Amino acid sequence: MEKDNNDYIQNIRDALPEDGTIADLADLFKMFGDPTRAKILGCLQLRDLNVGEIADVLGMSVSAVSHQLRILRAGKLVKGTKEGKEVKYSLDDDHVTKIMEYGLTHVNEER
């Protein structure tokens, strides 16, 4: 019966996505899991913006925003394009808007 129980547990384990996939999934959601990054992604859904503009909208330092943009870039959620001495940022992923919309729907339904 120990064996039955182990099989039972093993079956569930086998049905789950691989650890690497789970890690990727968690990393993706982590991007949206910080208010500053969520706001940045929210802005960029409205229009492309440079770093200074994002900092103004959020009321934060350019440096703090730049640090978060680096993380979002690494996660391939935004991309930055140099235009003269500015860097214009835009969403780099079709899913970003949908994922945020879905989350917002959920949050707004909460009672």
Partner DNA sequence: TGAACAGTTGAGAGATTGTTCAAGTGTGAG
Partner DNA sequence: CTCACACTTGAACAATCTCTCAACTGTTCA
Residues in contact with a second copy by the rule CB under 8 A? 9, 12-13, 15-17, 19, 21-35, 37-39, 42-43, 46-47, 49, 53, 56-57, 76, 93, 95, 98-100, 102-108, 110
Pick one of 52, 76, 98, 102: the residue that binds DNA (CB under 7 A): 52
Report the distance separating Cα 83 and Cα 44, nearest Å: 17
Between 69 and 96, CB nearer to DNA: 69
Between 38 and 97, CB nearer to DNA: 38
110 makes contact, choosing from DNA, a second copy, none, with CB < 5 to 8 Å by partner type, with: a second copy
The least CB distance from residue 49 to DNA, in Å, is 8
Is 87 a binding residue for DNA by CB under 7 A? The answer is: yes
Q: Is 65 exposed, middle or buried (0-12, 13-18, 19+ CB in 10 A)?
A: buried
Between 25 and 64, CB nearer to DNA: 64
DSSP 6-72: HHHHHHHHHHSPPHHHHHHHHHHHHHHTSHHHHHHHHHHHH--EEHHHHHHHHT--HHHHHHHHHHH
Structure tokens at 4: 């039955």
